[in-house]
Structure 1
Amino acid sequence: MKNKLSTLVLATLVLAAGGAQAQDKTLRLLTWGGYVPKDVVEQFTKETGFKVEVTTSNNEEMISKLRATAGAGFDLAQPSQDRIAGPQTEFRIYKPLDLSKIKADLFIPSMLDATKKNTTVGGKVYGLPHIWGTDGLVVNTKTSKATDYADLCAAENAGKVSMRLKRPTLIAMAFASGKDPFALYGDAKAYSALMDDMGKKLTECKKNVKFYWDGKDQLLAGIRSGELTTAMMWDTGGWELNKANPDVKFVAPKSGALGWVDTFAIPAKGKNDAAAYAWINFNMRPEIAAKVASSAGNFTASKGADQMMDPVLKKQFAESFPEAALKNIKWYPAVPAGIEDIEGRVLDRVKAAQ
């Protein structure tokens, strides 16, 4: 009986070890739709031996999933950079990155520095940049001379502009007014006063607004038809419109386009850090990053990837983002508790104003 029991225990240990070894060859990835093209996964597996299990999600779901498991269940996640510091401080769902395992020279330096700064908690870095995009202006250059967000409210564009009644619009107007709203995140009273001022500007600007947009179809149709001369919207939407009408361009505003970055972050109880770091470095290689960017419809933080992308998109990017405009992007920092409540109250007042 003793021998049989010993044999059973040994067999169980062997099976467990085999299971652990198999698990070590799998990367469990929590990410956004479009960020994991099939051919990229196949090449990664061929080069490294790691298989990839993909779960698509969004910021809110990522936080919820990782919070529910205290950071277990996944080896790598891709939250936006402004959604890391807060959840990490409150829920401890990520582990600090070992920067010695990252090939830093693969990243655009300014984006790497900004993301490291915005995802630092307690002196440790929790996020690295991957896919990024911006909000700025889409302008029909034949009918509008807009160069900054304040031009949405210019008399020449009366009745012919569109924007969202969302927090990016308040923030954009603040930058166009010469203020830095992100610098006031730590002072709720000062931030509230600034948002009140921006709310007044947007209320006065309502006479210029043809419609506030939520979905992209109405917005794109309005610009295509000439119903709109200027709109605050995202870069890839502007470039899409430009293909059909060269007069329509995405313009990085003088006060700075608003930039978002989806990152690489390692969950607190991830079991396969080796696969996670391998995936990060693999994805940041320019030739791989270009494939992912084409699939996602945005650009990446990979240095040199833009040179390998679709020639038309490459030209559009270069026109919209010369070096000065790229350096002037205002990257969203972590959002402190209470900030969105302040903005929501202001936006409600703007919406209700006659």
Structure 2
Amino acid sequence: MCPFKGLTRLSPRLCRGSFNWHAAEGLLRPIDESRLDLDSIYPTILEQSDNLGTIYRGKRYAVPFSWGAEGLSFDSTVHDYQSGGVSWSDQWSLENKGFVATRPRSALTSMALMIDGTGERLDSAYVNEELAREVFGEALLFGIEHKSYIRQFWNDVEGLTSAFTLNNCVIGQSWSGVGFDLWKNSKSKFKFVAPKEGALSWLNTMALPAGAQNTDRAYELINWLSSVKGGGMFMAHTGHNSVVVGAESGLDLASRDRFDFAYNSGQSIENLYWWKPEPKWFQDLRNLYVKKYKAA
């Protein structure tokens, strides 16, 4: 719950598994879009948010305000990768054999996206169990064939950080926040970039509880975080990405350079691959294939 009374934080990620926020009748109140100024939000993010649970039965119930991603961190003393041209497949190049870090829970998803290329089959797999088995089966086969490339699996911030700083990994799947911390703390030795097929991305939103009383102030905060100045301050003080176009202008020069490199001066934002709400059968199936991947 947000400390700003009248406002709550809701993420479409909560829709994974069997939970959907709208199944809890009376949880949220519809948002009056006439009181919002959403023109500054990346159009693609606003559009994608509608498919991730912010709209229900034609009414808006949530407004996006921040996002993050899983992309690739790499050792820039080993690789001279350039923004906008890096693929998920680059980590599986022969020269990286034995030096890759990855997260088992999402590795098969990035592999499926890499094999797919467009994300269309992966999108369809969320609603088609037979196709989902095909997609994860293909990813599992690729993962097993390239398992010798893995130097370290990671599951948390500490594991991801140590993979690069202590265990000599030179490339691997990485959360953006940790990737930027690695970049900063290593004096630019390690860099983070969104793959051209799309970084795996999640979205955080703001919503109004049904019993909210301070709605005027809540709308003020929503509009503040939807402004370039507010979004920039949010990025500067939290380290998370704002959904506002140009919010990175509020960052210091080094942080702005890291953002511009990672997301190709904002162009990669148009091609993010958003985590979808997951039916329970999908979640269970993916977990089964991840288990097979780890055990192989």
Fold shared by both chains (TM-score > 0.5): yes
1:287-344 per-residue CA deviation (whole Å, 9 max, x = no partner) reads: 2222222232111112332111122111111112124312111122322232111111
Q: What does residue 49 of structure 2 align with? A: 115
1:349 and 2:292 aligned: yes
Matches within 5 A, 1:120-135: 120-135=55-70
Q: 1:279 aligned to 221, 228, 237, which one?
A: 221
1:175 and 2:106 aligned: no
Distance of 1:328 and 1:226 partners within structure 2 = 31
1:262 and 2:193 aligned: no
Q: What does residue 148 of structure 1 align with? A: 87
Distance of 2:15 and 2:252 partners within structure 1 = 32
Contact 1:84 1:127 in 2 (8 A): no
SS in 2 for 1:335: coil
Q: Give the C-alpha shift of residue 130 in structure 1.
A: 0.7
Q: What does residue 88 of structure 1 align with? A: 21
1:223 and 2:161 aligned: no
SS in 2 for 1:132: strand
Percent of aligned positions that are identical: 23
1:155-181 per-residue CA deviation (whole Å, 9 max, x = no partner) reads: 211110111111x22221111112431
Using structure 2 for the length normalisation, give the TM-score.
Answer: 0.87
Q: Give the C-alpha shift of residue 225 in structure 1.
A: 4.7
Distance of 2:191 and 2:259 partners within structure 1 = 10
In structure 2, the CA distance between the partners of 1:348 and 1:192, relative to structure 1 (3 Å rule), is same
Using structure 1 for the length normalisation, give the TM-score.
Answer: 0.73
1:324 and 2:267 aligned: yes
Matches within 5 A, 1:232-247: 232-243=173-184, 244-247=186-189
Q: Give the C-alpha shift of residue 214 in structure 1.
A: 1.6
Q: Give the C-alpha shift of residue 149 in structure 1.
A: 2.0
Distance of 2:212 and 2:155 partners within structure 1 = 36
Contact 1:81 1:263 in 2 (8 A): yes
Contact 2:161 2:182 in 1 (8 A): yes
1:212 and 2:153 aligned: yes
Contact 2:38 2:226 in 1 (8 A): no
Contact 1:134 1:234 in 2 (8 A): yes
**Structure with bigger gyration radius:** 1
Q: What does residue 40 of structure 2 align with? A: 106
Contact 1:255 1:328 in 2 (8 A): yes
SS in 1 for 2:146: helix
SS in 1 for 2:280: coil
Distance of 1:232 and 1:339 partners within structure 2 = 22
1:137 and 2:72 aligned: yes
In structure 2, the CA distance between the partners of 1:268 and 1:246, relative to structure 1 (3 Å rule), is same
1:200 and 2:173 aligned: no
In structure 2, the CA distance between the partners of 1:80 and 1:274, relative to structure 1 (3 Å rule), is same
In structure 2, the CA distance between the partners of 1:334 and 1:193, relative to structure 1 (3 Å rule), is same
In structure 2, the CA distance between the partners of 1:106 and 1:254, relative to structure 1 (3 Å rule), is closer
SS in 2 for 1:107: coil
Aligned partner letter, 1:128: V
Q: What does residue 7 of structure 2 align with? A: 76
Q: Extract unaligned runs of 5+ from structure 1.
A: 1-29, 37-51, 54-74
Q: Give the C-alpha shift of residue 217 in structure 1.
A: 2.4
Contact 2:152 2:163 in 1 (8 A): no
Distance of 1:192 and 1:76 partners within structure 2 = 40
In structure 2, the CA distance between the partners of 1:101 and 1:336, relative to structure 1 (3 Å rule), is farther
Q: Give the C-alpha shift of residue 91 in structure 1.
A: 1.9
Which one has more relative contact order, counting CA pairs under 8 Å at least 6 apart? Answer: 2
In structure 2, the CA distance between the partners of 1:209 and 1:294, relative to structure 1 (3 Å rule), is same
Q: What does residue 335 of structure 1 align with? A: 278
Q: Give the C-alpha shift of residue 227 in structure 1.
A: 0.8
Q: What does residue 57 of structure 1 align with? A: none
SS in 2 for 1:106: coil
Matches within 5 A, 1:25-104: 30-31=1-2, 52-53=4-5, 75-83=6-14, 86-92=19-25, 93-104=27-38
Q: Give the C-alpha shift of residue 228 in structure 1.
A: 0.5
Contact 2:154 2:163 in 1 (8 A): no
Aligned partner letter, 2:225: N
Q: What does residue 11 of structure 1 align with? A: none
Q: 1:293 aligned to 225, 235, 244, which one?
A: 235
Aligned partner letter, 1:176: M
In structure 2, the CA distance between the partners of 1:84 and 1:78, relative to structure 1 (3 Å rule), is farther
Distance of 1:96 and 1:341 partners within structure 2 = 32
